[in-house]
Amino acid sequence: MNAQFPLVSIGLPVYNSEKTIVRALDSLLAQNYPNFEIVISDNSSTDKTAEICRQYAERDNRIKFNINPKNLGINANFYIVYKMAAGKYFMWAGSDDFWQPDFIRTLVRELESDTRAGVALCAVQRAYPDGSVEDTVQFDQVRDPNNFSNWQMVANLLSPKARIKDRKYNLFICGLFSREAVRGTLDFADEILSYGERAFLSQIALAYKFRYVDEVLFVKTIYRQPFKERQPDDQYVQAKKRLSYLRYYYQIMVWTNKSPAIPWRRKWFVIVIPHYMLHKFIYKLQKRFRRPRMTS
């Protein structure tokens, strides 16, 4: 193990990404951090994605390449690349995203500076496939996770209030994790990925600190058509359709109580979750019975 530059594993789950995978791989391989691996799992693509990834793996021994015998769904593929990883630090990478060369080096330094940290992220630019920029998400001043307690961080992640969801703390799923933090959650509850990134991050937030660097080092590709419309048959989409908000919050309560990674003094947070459930219920009632505005 390199004590100065601990190994970073980049998990890259891919499916039918031939139009974007080259840019993604090139930006990852251009990282100026000297000790990383890229673990790719192709979900039985029907285009040239697997061929492109195989060519990269043959040219660069930092790349591990796996092909699933059939499409297992996006969540299963996310789990596969995690299981393939060997580094002290781990990140999931999207096959259509872009990283500046300093991304890994900067976030490793941030995690190494705080032994309580479980994940670190930079400011994020969100852009469409045509290159047009939607916005830049920054967590500055009162929104800075560096100043949050564990309670505040998980409350911001799980709140059903739209104004809090709009702060986009779920983007931390794109950050660099301590692999110990991921292992403490996924090895305990591998099905948590099917509940979405906020459920997963809530368990990290109760066990570890979130770190933030106010530099734009990452470009996240977004789409005008949501994932559930682009991939309606994916197992994740089907599971989310069957998932009620009551089941969602209840399961988070169960995981929080049982998690070996969360200290007992923080498990009392589960008493707040019924408040979220009630708030969501009231919101649904208001939406159902709200009278339409009169127009003149």
178 and 230 part of one domain: yes
| Boundary of a domain, candidates 96, 122, 143 | 96
- pTM recorded for the entire structure: 0.89
Q: Are residues 121 and 50 in the same domain?
A: no
Q: In Å, how far from its chain's centre is CA 8?
A: 16
- At 282, give phi and psi (nearest 5°): -65, -40
Average per-residue pLDDT in the chain?
90
Q: Could you report the per-residue pLDDT of 30-68, keeping only the tens digit for each?
A: 999 999 999 999 999 999 999 999 999 999 999 999 999
Question: For the chain, how many structural domains are there in total?
Answer: 2
Domain range spanning residue 177?
Answer: 107-286
User: Could you tell me if residue 129 is inside a domain?
Assistant: yes
Distance of CA 181 to the CA centre of its chain: 13
* Model pLDDT for residues 255-281, shown as the tens digit of each residue: 998 999 999 888 876 766 666 666 666
pLDDT score at 276: 66
Residue 161 and residue 87 share a domain: no
Q: Name the one residue in this structure whose structure tokens are 């193990």.
A: 1
- Do 252 and 192 share a structural domain? yes
Q: Amino acid identity, residue 60?
A: D
Instruction: Identify the band that residue 247 occupies on the pLDDT scale cut at 50, 70 and 90.
Output: confident
Q: Higher confidence at residue 255 or residue 288?
A: 255
Residues 6+ apart with CB under 8 A from 248: 195, 199
- Assess whether 89 and 233 both reside in one domain: no
Same domain as 186, residue 127? yes
Give the pLDDT confidence score for residue 1 in this predicted structure. Answer: 56
Q: Report the CATH number that the domain containing residue 29 is assigned in CATH.
A: 3.90.550.10
Both 84 and 112 in a single domain?
no
The DSSP output letter for 170 is G
Determine the straight-line distance between the first and last CA of the chain, rounded to whole angstroms. 72
Same domain, yes or no: 113 and 92: no
Average pLDDT over residues 148-165: 90
